[in-house]
Amino acid sequence: MQCYAHLNGQDIAYILKRCQRKSIGLKIDRFGLIVSIPLKAPIPRVESVLQDKAGWITRKLEQWKNKKTIEPVWSDRASYPLLGEPWQIAISTSGEVHMAPLSAEETGTTLTSHQREKFVMAWYHRQAITHFKERLIVYAEKLGVPCPPFRLSRAKTRWGSCNAHGIIHLNWRLIQMPPHLVDYVIAHELSHLIEMNHSAAFWKQVESVYPEYLMARKELKEYG
């Protein structure tokens, strides 16, 4: 249910959901504010919680507003970033559909949105597998560790992870990022093969192969 609240001088729209839970929960993402409440919770209680959290809510909404979005759009003539550079679906003179660097040329196709999504996602998958494997080899050698197996991930909140079995998971969306950010995430996850934590010793390992890691961390946070 669409609702509104006046918080810190702003009219804030939010989605209200009743569900099986014991307390009121607030979630903010690129879609806005979602308030989940117990089935029998009174509306005045919701309004009270929102007023108590007004500062946090407006601050988080502003942060998401300023984030760069990389969510693909499946419309005609849309562009798709690959390692920070825009690409597009194009048609060759022989009529073959392929991906090409973005240009001013007309490249309209007859693909449906579903066909575009399938085509672009398969392309992203191939590019990610190839590029990530190459960079894993480079940074594994720098750290002096064996190059581990890796999997592509569709996680919504993590760029990468390393599990207890030494398997690296890298978010497929990383292939959209500039090369230096891909390298940072790979250096970060490989460092977990040496230090499975985020201690000072871990960050020292990251810094040894990626000295600009603090700047890369900050830049990644700009993306939603």
pTM value? 0.71
Per residue of the chain (224 residues), give pLDDT as tens.
888 889 988 888 888 988 888 889 998 876 789 999 898 888 888 889 999 999 999 888 887 676 666 677 787 778 899 999 999 998 887 888 899 988 755 556 678 889 999 999 999 999 999 999 999 999 999 999 999 999 999 988 899 999 999 999 999 999 999 999 999 999 999 999 999 999 999 999 999 999 999 999 999 888 76
The two tokens of residue 36 are: 């989940």
Side-chain half-sphere CA neighbours of 149 within 13 A: 6
pLDDT at position 117 = 94
- Residue 90 has a pLDDT of 87
Ordered by where they begin, the domains of the chain are 2-66 (no CATH), 79-122 (no CATH), 125-220 (3.30.2010.10)
Residue 216 neighbours by CB distance under 10 Å: 21
DSSP state of 83: T
DSSP state letters, 8-29:
TTEEEEEEEEEES-SS-EEEEE
* Structural contact between residues 175 and 82, judged by C-beta atoms closer than 8 angstroms: yes
Rounded Cα distance between 28 and 16, Å, is 12
